[in-house]
């Protein structure tokens, strides 16, 4: 199991949504006019609820895909 400075991640919440890019994001991602971006926000917690990771990623919607694998507990 991955640990961060002795803190073991236990759960995470990810939120994904589409939106219009900011002018800066459109320039950096070299987007065509009208192309959307996907925003992924992730928060990772220890078993006792301590936040150990906060991430926000912005991707060109037409050039990115997400794939998830979940283990179902007994």
Query: pTM value?
Result: 0.76
Alpha helices (runs of H) in 3-74, residue ranges in sequence order: 23-28
pLDDT at residue number 38? 97
Distance between CA atoms of residues 13 and 54, nearest Å:
10
pLDDT along the chain (74 residues), means of 10: 71 94 96 95 92 94 89 70
pLDDT at residue number 4? 58
Could you list the residue range(s) of the whole structural domain that residue 42 is in? 9-63
Domain membership of residue 71 (yes or no) is no
Domain membership of residue 27 (yes or no) is yes
Distance between CA atoms of residues 64 and 61, nearest Å:
6
pLDDT at residue number 43? 94
Distance between CA atoms of residues 64 and 42, nearest Å:
17
pLDDT at residue number 71? 78
Domain membership of residue 46 (yes or no) is yes
pLDDT at residue number 42? 94
What's the total number of domains in the chain? 1
């Amino acid at each position: 199991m991955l640990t961060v400075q002795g803190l073991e991640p236990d759960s995470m919440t990810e939120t994904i949504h589409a939106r219009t890019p900011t002018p800066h994001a459109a320039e950096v991602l070299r987007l065509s006019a009208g192309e959307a971006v996907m925003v992924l926000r992730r928060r990772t917690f220890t078993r006792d609820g301590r936040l150990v990771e906060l991430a926000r990623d912005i991707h060109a919607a037409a050039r990115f895909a997400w794939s998830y694998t979940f283990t179902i507990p007994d």
